Amino acid sequence: MKSFGKVTAVDDVSFDVQAGEIFAFLGPNGAGKTTTIKMLTTLLRPTSGSLELDGLDPATHQTEVRRRFGVVFQDPSLDSELTAWENMDIHGVLYHVPRQVRRERCEALLRMFELWERRDDLVKTFSGGMKRRLEIARGLLHTPKVLFLDEPTLGLDPQSRNQMWTHVRRLNQSEHVTVFLTTHYMDEADRVADRIAVIDHGRIVATGSSAELKAQTGTDSLEAAFLALTGTTIRDESASAADQMRQVARVWRR
């Protein structure tokens, strides 16, 4: 559980993710998806309850846990004034990846994500899809056991989305990395995820494979199942400071 003052963002969220699976976390705006990810990635401490990532508690074993995951946040976290290569390289230093390994892995990942030709260009010249690909490549540089993707396809065109998930699925198979993702696009979750959890008002309302969720709600698409589970009311969150900044960012196209 996590409360901010009187507001309880996440309450009674219990789930297990199996090693090596792709796990999708679905929920309307303000349901608590990002808060859950922030707690798992050591950025927030839970008010109560327990967490475990690869057998370790993120609240007490911060450094060891941080070594074990890679994360792509909802908002960009690249340095746009540096080149793609420099972004990768700094990440490698921060995660203590030995120089030789760092170089080889940077090259392999940049090639895989089709960014190798652009490695010496400043990130600010990249398109939205390229930036996302670079962030995922960077998140995988230190061979994490878990990769967190918080709405990674937001604002991308269908081509970029399609290509991105193809990469993620391939990596899930070749590197056996567990993927924990959130998205608003039901078709993505349907296609990519082995298992899905639906969260609403800070609680998990259903867990299972896409087929199980459809069967449980007696619907024929994941979208219909999602609406059956979470209702059709629109969630009007009051805008937070971060939302306001996001609007400014959109204007300035940073």
Partner 1 sequence: MAVIVVLWLREVKKYLRSRVQIVASLGTPLMYLGVLGFGLGPVFQRAGEGSYLQFMAPGVIGMTVLFTAMFSGIAMLWDRQFGFLKETLVAPVPRLAIMIGRTLGGATVAVLQGTLIFFVTLIAGFRPVSIFAVPLAFLVIALIAVIFSALATAIGSGLKEMQGFQMVMNFLVLPIFFLSGAIYPLEGLPRVLAAFTRVDPLTYGVDGVRGLLTGRTHFGVALDVLVLLSVGVLFVALGAWRFSKIEA
Contact residues toward partner 1 (CB under 8 A) are 38, 41-45, 62-64, 66-67, 69, 71, 73, 75-82, 86, 90-91, 93-96, 138, 241-242, 244-246, 248-249, 254
DSSP state of 247: H
d(CA 163, CA 160): 5
CA 234 to chain centre: 23
By beta-carbon proximity to partner 1, the closer residue of 56 and 224 is 56
CB of 8 to partner 1, least distance (A): 16
CB of 234 to partner 1, least distance (A): 25
By beta-carbon proximity to partner 1, the closer residue of 82 and 205 is 82
By beta-carbon proximity to partner 1, the closer residue of 211 and 239 is 239
By beta-carbon proximity to partner 1, the closer residue of 101 and 211 is 101
DSSP state of 24: E
CB of 208 to partner 1, least distance (A): 30
What DSSP string runs through 157-226?
Answer: -HHHHHHHHHHHHHHHHHS--EEEEE-S-HHHHHHH-SEEEEEETTEEEEEE-HHHHHHHHT-SSHHHHH
Which of these, 34, 33, 38, lies nearest to 51 by C-alpha position?
Answer: 38
By beta-carbon proximity to partner 1, the closer residue of 90 and 215 is 90
CB 41 within 8 A of CB 53: no
CB of 186 to partner 1, least distance (A): 27
CB 233 within 8 A of CB 242: no
CB of 153 to partner 1, least distance (A): 18
